[in-house]
Structure 1
């Protein structure tokens, strides 16, 4: 039995007259309600009655029920049935009823009347809907319950049932089946079944090769959610130059999501905020964490959350956070979190509600979801955003030191299949003082374009040096903005992500300014 089974059973036993079950999985919701109903009372005095606009009232036990072609008629007939048999523990399920309670005052009034009438009976009413947007008039009469996406045990049982049903050749061990089911975490039961079925049809056998295929299906489904994007663990620590203090912080927490850490008494890490100058590697660092910890990486695009319909933005966020919790342990990368406050209050309060929901969830979440929030404009964030409890640490990514610039040049030359030993990397590092990692990468790319157009020939140190001379770094073009951000670090508001020497230099600068 899952948590949603327990919650439904508790509310039904407490004789709550109306439950709003928020889910997109209508068929699974009905099956769970029937399981709860049978577990509670398998006798003839209990039935599951479902109504929808196309089929009217239908009994799970095959009873003959009156015609109810309209929502108004359905509510009237349910009231009559409940009054005629007040001792029956029937569950009445209304599908898609949000379509009617928002459009018709008469339906809304009848629904309230029915909820009040059911208080004196053992019957209960359940509305299945994709949205938690309940009319204010009904708020006092209903319990809203979110139905979570299927967990690993449910997906594993569905996979085993599908293998048995199709009699497909299966070369997976028990551990392999668990890994295949785990690859589908974050999908609805129907989506997972389609992914499994596609894997079966592809080559008429289930084996280890089908795990990446199911992951690809999950990426496509998550992408369709409009706000989430699934990233593979492709970046490694070697792809990120410098930031040694940050890397060491991450290495210390690498195994903190396992059972051994929990037994030791360690809580799972909550998250980190990456603040700093654009181009210093905040996004690359977020991607690297997923690879270092071997965890799924989900990117939440805050800008994509906002929709034109009332409640749409909040609904997209709620679904995105639900997916992250189901996929956990995972890394949730909230890119440019300050974008959620970009409207300046001109959107009827939607951005403030979305931002508040994110902060509340970060504070109260219990699932092992490690949040990596990046921000370029710390001034746009409310002060409470970065406080402890939401993040374990706040790191500032400053202009790279000379040693870090050597690492960054090495990374990008090697990334483009060039031997760093063939270049005067120390000379380039000295020349690039004030350049961020993205600008150093661009200098290498520009040098390659020139070498290709002139031959093609291989690039040299001089090619990269000339490319550096042509670039105008951000530290010059936006000097004031960069200095404001660096002052934020010198004020001691964050931990430097760079070498200990860089952190000490920042502290020394503070002392000089105070002297």
Structure 2
């Protein structure tokens, strides 16, 4: 296939085209586009070629400089980056020059100097405009002041709908049949799921959904979401879950559940009602093992959206600037997966600042706080924390989260409910066990410790070849020292802190 054998998958977005044209007319000498979607960028510049009456040249390492309108290789020597730039520097025809995958050459000081000299011709109305197009570009400081970045826009919903219907017709045409059957309700959700992808990727996912069985229905939505996540996942930093927890699996936490239920309808809406902003997130503080993580996962189930798990520890990288880039890419991926819940477990471990890392942790904190305050996407942040002493004060400021909840050790009735849940999960009948007595005897136990109590007693019963009985639970209870005993002082301090600063969950 020839380098220029591309066809735009959809008409160019007029607003996007106007924004790019404005940047060029302003005399920007160096434009940076970070994207894998080369056909999209090509289509924009081919449209500008007609609109602005300027020639378009495309450089690749394999073909050198090519006149885009004629697919004409200009000279074999121009495959050499330095010789190509020397030619570009001499042009006086206002050419739009696209340098594809040029980022490896930016480590060469001679190449950088050549680009800088081309950029210094910005006052010359006949000077070329150079455009760097690569999946990832880090500019050297010499070129930063000469450049501006341009972000390609994702296809509009109407464009995606037209593409999906065209794929349904294509399925029928290839088989001499009528178009593939489309469930209109599933189509609306599919278009919502495809937003944020390039047209090329969106078309591939839609085609897979339709061509599998000639029908587009709700059964296709989960595979599409999983495939979208795999396309967007920034290096395995995010984990994706479609099957999340339900609040029926969570004992207690009535205030938290009611708070989420009041906001679920607004969060699901494409546009919030007048006067209301979409819910942004919550911070769950509390004793270890009391269900904070389970509640975060259940929030995704209640909202009916996927869950993304962001592990801050995996963001940190030894190379300067890479940690911040990893964070930006993860947050961008979460926005493209919206609507979703982004769960950040033990956030204090990832955002605790230190002077021993060259300022990386402080920059990470600043970037995250800025995003938390300014993002407008339907990404609900569910953060959990155990150690309040390590939480940066900036994170606790009003406006960062919609609410701060404190998850305390379960009360007596909740302890009985927790044990009933774990017995049912293991196909045992809770009514056969004196849960009220067990709940009274397990004062100070966390939810995790109650589960461990049931599991350990089951192991003993299995080893004896008998059904779980009260004696097994009582014996295991006698051997257990809960965290509330081992760390009584720190838990008392945590409760005292939360009494004035957090809402009981």
Greater alpha carbon shift after TM alignment, 404-413 vs 291-300: 404-413
Pair 1:99-2:109 in alignment? no
Partner of 1:461: 470
Deviation at 1:355, TM superposition (A): 2.0
Deviations 1:342-377 (A, max 9, x none): 573333222222221111100111222211111122
Deviation at 1:3, TM superposition (A): 6.1
Deviation at 1:185, TM superposition (A): 4.4
Pair 1:56-2:68 in alignment? no
Q: Is the 8 A contact 2:266 2:279 kept in 1?
A: yes
Deviation at 1:250, TM superposition (A): 0.9
Equivalences for residues 9-408 of structure 1 within 5 A? 9-38=21-50, 40-41=51-52, 45-62=53-70, 64=72, 65-67=74-76, 68-81=78-91, 83=92, 85-86=93-94, 90-101=95-106, 103-121=107-125, 123-131=128-136, 133-147=138-152, 152-166=157-171, 167=173, 170-185=180-195, 187-199=197-209, 202-203=212-213, 206-222=216-232, 225-259=235-269, 262-341=272-351, 344-408=354-418
Partner of 2:5: none
Question: SS of the counterpart of 1:278?
Answer: coil
Alignment partners' CA distance in 2, 1:284 and 1:395: 14
Alignment partners' CA distance in 2, 1:219 and 1:13: 37
Aligned match for 2:479, one of 463, 470, 475: 470
Deviation at 1:139, TM superposition (A): 1.7
Alignment partners' CA distance in 2, 1:452 and 1:144: 64
Greater alpha carbon shift after TM alignment, 172-181 vs 295-304: 172-181
Alignment partners' CA distance in 1, 2:14 and 2:282: 31
Deviation at 1:201, TM superposition (A): 5.7
Deviation at 1:401, TM superposition (A): 1.6
Deviation at 1:332, TM superposition (A): 1.5
Partner of 1:509: none
Q: CA RMSD in A?
A: 2.6
Alignment partners' CA distance in 2, 1:432 and 1:139: 63
Distance 1:172 1:482, change over 3 A: same
Alignment partners' CA distance in 2, 1:286 and 1:27: 40
Question: SS of the counterpart of 2:310?
Answer: strand
Partner of 1:505: none
Q: Is the 8 A contact 1:405 1:429 kept in 2?
A: yes
Q: TM-score, normalised by structure 1?
A: 0.86
Greater alpha carbon shift after TM alignment, 468-477 vs 214-223: 214-223
Q: Could you tell me which runs of 5 or more consecutive residues in structure 1 were left unpaired when the two chains were aligned.
A: 498-515
Q: Is the 8 A contact 1:233 1:294 kept in 2?
A: no
Alignment partners' CA distance in 2, 1:468 and 1:218: 47
Alignment partners' CA distance in 2, 1:427 and 1:452: 23
Aligned match for 1:488, one of 469, 493, 497: 497
Alignment partners' CA distance in 2, 1:35 and 1:334: 43
Deviation at 1:210, TM superposition (A): 2.5
Distance 1:156 1:126, change over 3 A: farther
Distance 1:32 1:398, change over 3 A: farther
Q: Is the 8 A contact 2:353 2:365 kept in 1?
A: no
Greater alpha carbon shift after TM alignment, 351-360 vs 165-174: 165-174
Partner of 1:503: none
Q: Is the 8 A contact 2:234 2:326 kept in 1?
A: no
Alignment partners' CA distance in 2, 1:439 and 1:30: 59
Deviation at 1:385, TM superposition (A): 0.6
Deviation at 1:479, TM superposition (A): 3.0
Alignment partners' CA distance in 2, 1:331 and 1:260: 15
Deviation at 1:161, TM superposition (A): 4.4
Question: SS of the counterpart of 1:117?
Answer: coil
Alignment partners' CA distance in 1, 2:479 and 2:232: 41
Q: Is the 8 A contact 2:181 2:214 kept in 1?
A: no
Alignment partners' CA distance in 1, 2:473 and 2:154: 51
Greater alpha carbon shift after TM alignment, 480-489 vs 2-11: 2-11
Q: Could you tell me which runs of 5 or more consecutive residues in structure 2 were left unpaired when the two chains were aligned.
A: 1-12
Deviation at 1:132, TM superposition (A): 5.3
Deviation at 1:476, TM superposition (A): 2.2
Aligned match for 2:431, one of 392, 412, 421: 421
